[in-house]
A and B are shown apart, each in its own frame.
Chain A
Amino acid sequence: METAEIKLTSKDYASEMEVKWCPGCGDYSILKQVQTVFPDLGIPKENFAFISGIGCSSRFTYYMDTYGMHSIHGRAAAIASGVKAANPALSVWIVSGDGDALSIGGNHFIHLMRKNFDVNYLVFNNQIYSLTKGQYSPTSERGKVTKSSPYGSIEEPFNPSELALGAKASFVARTLDRDPKHMQAVLKRAHAHKGTSFVEVYQNCPVFNDTAFFAFSDKETKKEEAILLEHNKPLVFGSNDEKGIKFEGITPIIVNISESKISPNDLWIHDEKDKTKANILSRFFDTTFNDVHFPRPFGIIYANERPVYDENLVAQIDTVTAKKGKISLNKILSGEKTWTIN
């Protein structure tokens, strides 16, 4: 008998576990946005599986009323690949942090991007190790003073989106905890994308690395420091949307639209499928072009579907089965050559 499905709400995705992040942690917002968008994704609740590693972010799994595994440090991506390979019908979400994904789990991170399983990979980047109470992470800026770097970190940080693109990610996006609407839109796109969807979420740690990303969300600065990407739209930013980015040869430059009377069509038009442009965009991070500082891009930096591992795995099985047919167990046991002893 068919019954009309009752549409779930965000509350249906909240588990009974008490949420135990610190007050003011950016993780609360991420949890809220995920729970908000999930009822709209058209997936039966029982088909969601969250796989997380270790760290503050990875407790996320316990707070979602879905299937979930809180695993071991750095290995969520590897475990998720097995879950997805075994049951491609599941919607698999990996939740990780900058240490979990990019330090101890770095190898699994790059190979997941390369293999392109159809999973979603949320990395909560707070540029610090929080669960271990404040050490610099692989995304902490050079000179960062922490308990393990009292005289300043001497390490160069990873730029996660650049790393993901280098590892052949098919979907790379950036959003931040303080912009709920933006995050919801990015999460929906990540879900819709077939292949590994890497979403870097700038997440504030109020205890060990407060205000690390405020420049991108604070009213005073965000229009100058952040640029919102929209597919097929020119790159425009500034307090009054007066600045644009265009190419001079292969070098991006910032132009004042009103002063130079440049038409929006002359600006860099964002194309999610253009890997070359995505590579340059991802470098709007710590790279300057002709000594000019560029705003940090948020949104879908790159999205271009290509063959998906779990689909190919099943397709290959189907092809070989159609060609060869299933081998009976008795045939497998006997092999090709046998002899009889009387």
Chain B
Amino acid sequence: MNTLKSIPPQKTTVLESESVVVRFSGDSGDGMQLTGMQFSDTAAFLGNDISTFPDYPSEIRAPIGTVAGVSGFQVHFGSKEIFTSGDEYDVLVAMNAAALKVDLPRLKKGGFIIANTAGFDKKNLGLAQYHDGINPLEDDTLSNYTVLQVDVTRLTKEALADSGLGTKDIERSKNMFVLGVLFWMFDKPLDHTLKFIEEKFVKKPEVALANEKTLRAGWIYGENTEIFNTQFKVSAAKLPAGEYRSITGNHATAIGLIAAAEKSGLPLFLGSYPITPATDILHELSKYKANGVKTLQAEDEIAGICSAIGASYAGNLAVTTTSGPGMALKTEALGLATMLEIPLVVVNVQRGGPSTGLPTKTEQSDLLMALHGRHGEAPIPVIAASSPSDCFEMAYEACRISVEHMTPVILLTDGYIANGSEPWLFPTEDKLAKISVKFLDKVNSDNDVLLPYKRNELLVRPWIKPGTKGLEHRIGGLEKQNETGNVSYDPKNHETMTKLRAAKIEKIADHIPLAKPDSGKEKAKVLVLGWGSTAGSIKTAVRELIADGNDVAHIHLKYINPFPKNLGDLLKGYEKVLIPEMNCGQLLQLIRAKYLVPAIGFSKVQGLPFTTPELKAKIKELL
């Protein structure tokens, strides 16, 4: 994809590129996430399209210097549209030997390595388990790459020699030196990060000053040191005009929920128990007290969903957020919400499973659980976000469907898009869809009897808030008599109610967008059908194949239960259907079962997103 094109030689070579991938890699305590975010934000502000991918260990501070403790942050930025965080990187920043060891395999041949030499001393080499006497910076291990050795630790110390700061604080500033070097390399100004430093350390001016000094020292080092003779130039991308911000998936989910609450006029309630990688939604929503958002950190996952059920019963827009293991614990309560027919939004930020699995790695393996993971016949709408900013739209949709159709809704995102970020052409309030909510305020039958389970044309029952005079009634998990909602063990009634609950969910298909190809046409030799966070990889692969003249198309599903009404007809337009998923073929089963299409699966369960070459190779097999 992005080949680095040389511009006529001068003292500093400037390479122009359509897109570049940089990987920041270091110890968990080296500040790589922050460094990466600063670099990404600066690129975004300057008009590049970007996609980021934080890749960190589940241990907060694994033993320093070890392979287990390596924390990475990858950013893909370009002058063209960027849909993934990049398969291989052009530049690897390795703060120590372990970082190099972990991340070297995915550095492009001929790529750049910026190595912090202090991280390659005898101790660090030992911790990274390089054999005695072997130092990759000194032998021919890296002969295929351009290696820029920088003693970041010493240079930072020198820059801060008269700062009066202790060794620990000085040591902590070294990521700023690296960032300064990178800003020089990519010809980016320091302004954004300088402002960030000023704001972050407003109460510690001496630390702010030290960070600023180190950042500038890094930039100057890049400019003045002979080993740095290459600069990259990535021009601004031609993105749709408008006002942008940078956003991660979890952040987008949080404000999607707030937006839905504001637009529906309902107070927002979150009942949640901390779990990776979903916790940031709880963090984010906890900040919005001034907007009346109530967040309850529950004693466990079950209390998370149950408190939300209680809040919904009392008339709030109620949400619970979790990841796989928590989802498993919530299943009984999901059945209750289905039986009560009350709104409830459940966000599952998927991670590698089963059990504790890969807490910080991504996977799409909870799809069938979302659809079927309850006892009894308990259909629940399932929708999925396809990118960080799409989490906003789908969180908003989850709320809309939930309150308008009186049903729990499961929103699936995953670790990749939850933590990844991208520029977002955010909407203004007036552009958001209407969400209509009406609470029953008087008896809904002619004979003065309240019928809590009397349905409207959408087969939806009324929402009745406790505190409403004259509508006192009881609901519960026992089967209900049609319309009256009274407990009923009548066999025929149970079947009627089971079918009504299912028909209500099916009817949602009339109120969601139809499916359409994201790339390619409505008829083609091969359709690549995806869902969730694979959108970027599939889009990149399919567009490149189409550009090369291949007969291929891409449809991305955001609504999985119910499916868009036209999906069955649409599928008939393709000779072959390929379904890539980060699981062992879950959407595949659903599509085959529902549409009797001999779809072909392509699965990856490595805790990592698909790469473009992987997808292209598989698609080509079918062309």
Contacts and interface: CB of A to CB of B under 8 A. Distances in A.
Interface of A: 15, 17, 44-47, 49-51, 54, 61-62, 64-72, 75, 78-87, 89-90, 107-108, 111, 313, 316-317, 320-321, 323-330, 332-335, 337-342
A69 B313 contact: yes
Contact of A332 (B45, B259, B300): B259
A140 to B, nearest CB: 25
A78 B243 contact: no
Contact of A65 (B47, B469, B472): B472
Nearest to B429: A329
Contacts of A68: 473-476
A192 to B, nearest CB: 21
B255 A82 contact: no
Contacts of A87: 314-315, 465-467
A62 B316 CA distance: 23
Contact of B245 (A15, A89, A334, A342): A334
Interface in B34-76: 41, 44-45, 47
A339 B472 contact: no
26 contacts: A46-B472, A61-B474, A68-B474, A69-B474, A71-B336, A72-B333, A78-B302, A78-B303, A78-B307, A82-B309, A82-B311, A82-B313, A86-B310, A107-B299, A107-B303, A313-B294, A321-B289, A324-B290, A326-B290, A328-B429, A339-B47, A339-B244, A339-B245, A340-B242, A341-B239, A341-B244
What are the 10 A-B residue pairs with the smallest beta carbon separation, nearest first?
A82-B310, A70-B476, A82-B307, A78-B306, A86-B314, A67-B466, A111-B299, A78-B303, A86-B311, A320-B289
Nearest to B299: A111
Interface in B223-267: 236, 239-247, 255, 258-259, 262-263, 267
Given A90-B467, A333-B428, A85 B290 contact: no
Contact of B258 (A72, A111, A324, A332): A332
Nearest to A336: B245
B498 to A, nearest CB: 18
A69 B240 contact: no
A335 B247 contact: yes
A85 B300 CA distance: 17
B474 A86 contact: no
B271 interface: yes
Contacts of A54: 477
Contact of A329 (B41, B262, B307): B262
A75 B306 contact: yes
Select the residue from B47, B255, B307 with max chain A CB neighbours within 10 A. Answer: B307
Contacts of A78: 298-299, 302-303, 306-307, 310
Contact of B466 (A15, A75, A83, A340): A83
B310 A51 contact: yes
Select the residue from B243, B309, B470 with max chain A CB neighbours within 10 A. Answer: B309
B12 interface: no
B471 A341 contact: no
A46 B450 CA distance: 14
Interface string B449-481: 000000000000000011111111111111000
Given A86-B316, A338-B243, 16 more contacts: A46-B466, A61-B474, A62-B476, A67-B466, A68-B474, A81-B303, A82-B271, A82-B307, A83-B313, A85-B296, A107-B303, A313-B294, A326-B290, A329-B429, A334-B243, A338-B426
A83 B241 CA distance: 45
Contact of A81 (B236, B296, B478): B296
A330 B428 contact: yes
Contacts of B307: 78-79, 81-82, 85
Contacts of A326: 290-292
A15 B476 CA distance: 15
A342 B309 contact: no
Contacts of B474: 15, 17, 50, 61-62, 64, 67-70
Contacts of B289: 316-317, 320-321
Given A17-B486, A326-B290, A79 B467 contact: no
Contacts of B308: 82
Contacts of B465: 87
Contacts of B309: 71, 79, 82
A338 B245 contact: yes
B463 to A, nearest CB: 13
Interface string B430-455: 00000000000000000000000000
Q: Is the interface of B mostly helix, strand, loop or mixed?
A: mixed
B336 A340 contact: no
B475 A69 contact: yes
A71 B315 CA distance: 17
Contacts, number: 206
B243 A71 contact: no
Contacts of B302: 75, 78, 108
Contact of B241 (A81, A320, A327, A341): A341
A90 B311 CA distance: 12
A70 B240 CA distance: 52
B340 interface: yes
A26 B69 CA distance: 61
Given A44-B469, A70-B478, A86-B310, A111 B303 contact: yes
A339 B288 CA distance: 24
B318 interface: yes
B429 A82 contact: no
A80 B299 CA distance: 14
B565 to A, nearest CB: 31
A44 B470 CA distance: 11
Contacts of B267: 86
B322 to A, nearest CB: 14
A321 B47 CA distance: 35
B613 interface: no
B269 interface: yes
A324 to B, nearest CB: 5
Select the residue from B314, B332, B340, B475 with max chain A CB neighbours within 10 A. Answer: B314
B315 A86 contact: yes
A70 B472 contact: no
Contacts of A51: 310
B471 A46 contact: yes
A326 B245 CA distance: 21
Contacts of A328: 429
Nearest to A319: B289
B598 interface: no
Interface string B279-305: 000000000111110101011101100
A316 B295 CA distance: 11
A316 B289 CA distance: 8
A69 B476 contact: yes
A337 B469 CA distance: 47
A107 B469 CA distance: 34
B290 A82 contact: no
A1 to B, nearest CB: 15
Contacts of A86: 267, 269, 294, 310-316, 318
B242 A327 contact: no
A88 to B, nearest CB: 10
B487 interface: yes
Nearest to A65: B472
B239 A82 contact: no
Contacts of B41: 337
Contacts of A71: 306, 309, 336, 476-477
Contacts of B269: 82, 85-86
Given A82-B310, A335-B245, A341-B240, A327 B291 contact: yes
A130 B239 CA distance: 67
B255 A79 contact: no
B477 A72 contact: yes
Contacts of B471: 46
B513 interface: no
B467 A47 contact: yes
Nearest to A324: B290
